[in-house]
Amino acid sequence: MSASPHYQTIAALAERLAQGELTSVELTQAVITRTQSVEGKVRAFNSRDEADALAQAKASDERRAAGKCLGVLDGIPIGLKDVIAVRDQPLTASSRMLRDFVSPYDATVTERLKMAGVVIWGRLNLDEFAMGSSTENSANAPTANPWDLSCVPGGSSGGSAAALAAGEAIATLGSDTGGSIRQPASLCGVVGLKPTYGLVSRYGLIAYASSLDQIGPFTRTVEDAAMVLQAIAGHDERDSTSFKIEIPDYRAALTVKRGPWKLGIPKEYFGEGLDPEVARAVEAAVKFYRDQGCEIVEVSLPHTQYCLDAYYVIATAEASSNLARFDGIRYGHRSAKAKDVVDLYFQSRAEGFGEEVKRRIILGTYVLSSGYYDAYYLRAQKVRTLIRQDFLNAYKQVDALITPTSPTAAFKIGAKADPLALYLCDIYTIGVNLAGLPAISVPCGFTGAGLPIGLQVIGQPFAEAELLAIAQAYERGHDWCNRHPEL
C-alpha cells in the first residue's frame, strides 16, 4: 500500500484515524498539499476552499477526541461533482450560465455525507451540465487524464475521476446519466458505481435528464464504494423518484461468502468498434471468473442497437425541459445586451450555454414539438421498455452481466471533435441508465501505452450487495487498484 495518505483507501484511513495514528487535519492537509502540487496539470477542480476543509477536519478530530465519532467516513475528504449542491459553495455545472451562482442549500447526498462526518472537499469539473463524455465541454479548462496528461479523463464526471486518480481526494461523487460515472472511472483506472435508479436521492442535483440521472461514488476499491454508498443511499421524500426499500449493510455483505455466480456475456457488446486491447483485457477477466468456478453464459440483448438512438431522444427531450429554467430572469447569467424581455431570454441563453448544451436543447425541443412527439419521443419510450425487458429476460438465466465499460481507453484531447464519435463512447453504458439498473466499473488492466481499461459488471435492480461482491471477487485477484499514475 502507498505510504502517502492521499493514495490510501477509505477503509485503511478509517482504521488509522480510529487508532489515533493520523488526524483528519493531517489527512486533509496531505490531500490539500497533493492538490496544490498536481492540480495545475490535471485541472480537476472548479473551486476549492482549503480553509473550510481544514475547519471541517478540525471539527472531526474534536468529535473523535470527545468520543462522538460519526462513523467510518468521519474525517475523510471527499470531492463533489459541480452539479451537486453544497450550501454556501459555488454550484456552476461548469457553465457560464451559473458561473457566479452559490448554492443556498445542500443536496440530500451532501446532507448525508455531512451527517457521516465527511470533509466536503471542493467542486469538481465536468462537461457542461453533464453533457459529454470527455470533460472537454466545460466552460472552464478541460480536465486532463492523470495517466497521460494529453488524454481526456472521460466524462461527464471527468473531474471526479481525475481528482481521485491523481490523489487529490480520497473519494468523490459524480452523476451518471448515460455512463458519466463508469466511463471516466474506466479511463482513469478507478472504481465507479452507478446505483439503481431511485436508490440515491437526486434532490439537489442539477437535472440533465431526470429519468436517467443517478448520483454515485468514485473510489479506489469496491469496499470503499460500499462504504460511500451506505452513507448516501436511502429514501428521500423530497425526491419523488426515490424508492422506499430497506438498505442493507453493503460493507458487511462483502464479508459474506458468495458465489460462484452464473455470469452473462452479452454478445452485442463484443462486436465492431471494440478496441482489441480492451477486448483482450475483458476476456481475461471473464477467464478469471470462469477459473473461480463461475458459469459463463452468452446472452443476447437484442435491442442494444437502438440504445443510442433512444437515449439521445429521451435525454435531450428531458434536458430541453429541465434547462428551460435558465432564462436570465430568475438566477444565473443575464445578458447585458438585451433590448427587451424576450430578447433577454434569447441573449442570456445564447451567451450562457456552450455549443454541446445548445445542440442537445435544440434536438430535445425538436423531438417534443407538435407533430414529432409521437414519432420520436413516444417511440423512444417504447423502445426503452423493450431494452429494459432485454435485461430482465437475461436475468432469468444469469446473476449479472460482464461487459467492457468503454470501447476504448482514453483518447487524446481534441481527437473526437465529431459529436457522434463522442456519443459512441457510451455505447456500453447507456442501456443501464435506460433500464434503471445498477452497474460498476472496476480496473481490469492497461493498454500497451499505459492507459487504464475498465470492466463493467451490470447487476439486477437494487441488488447492489451482490453486484459489489461480484466486482470485489475480481478486484481481490488483481492489484490494479494499487497502481497510481506518476505525475
**Alpha-carbon distance 362 to 359, whole Å?**
5
Which of 60, 81, 160, 406 is catalytic? The answer is: 81
User: The dihedral of CA 32, 36, 37, 43: what is its sign?
Assistant: positive
DSSP annotation of 385 reads H
Residue among 222, 132, 122 nearest 183 (CA) = 132
- For 433-460, give one letter per residue: b (16+ CB within 10 A) or e: bbbbbbbbbbbbbbbeeebbbbbbbbbb
Which of 156, 157, 320, 406 is catalytic? The answer is: 156
Residue among 243, 183, 254, 181 nearest 216 (CA) = 181
User: The dihedral of CA 23, 29, 32, 38: what is its sign?
Assistant: negative
DSSP annotation of 377 reads I
C-alpha cell at 294: 463461475
156 noted as active-site residue: yes
Residues 6+ apart with CB under 8 A from 399: 261, 262, 263, 460, 466, 470
- Is residue 196 a contact partner of residue 163, using CB atoms and an 8 Å limit? no
358 noted as active-site residue: no
416 noted as active-site residue: no
- For 194-225, give one letter per residue: b (16+ CB within 10 A) or e: bbbbbbbbbbbbbbbbbbbbbbbbbbbbbbbb
- DSSP one-letter string for 317-343: HHHHHHGGG--SSSSS---SS-SSHHH
Residue among 482, 429, 481 nearest 457 (CA) = 429
**Alpha-carbon distance 159 to 85, whole Å?**
16
- Is residue 405 a contact partner of residue 186, using CB atoms and an 8 Å limit? yes
Which of 134, 160, 180, 320 is catalytic? The answer is: 180
**Which residues are tagged catalytic?**
81, 156, 180
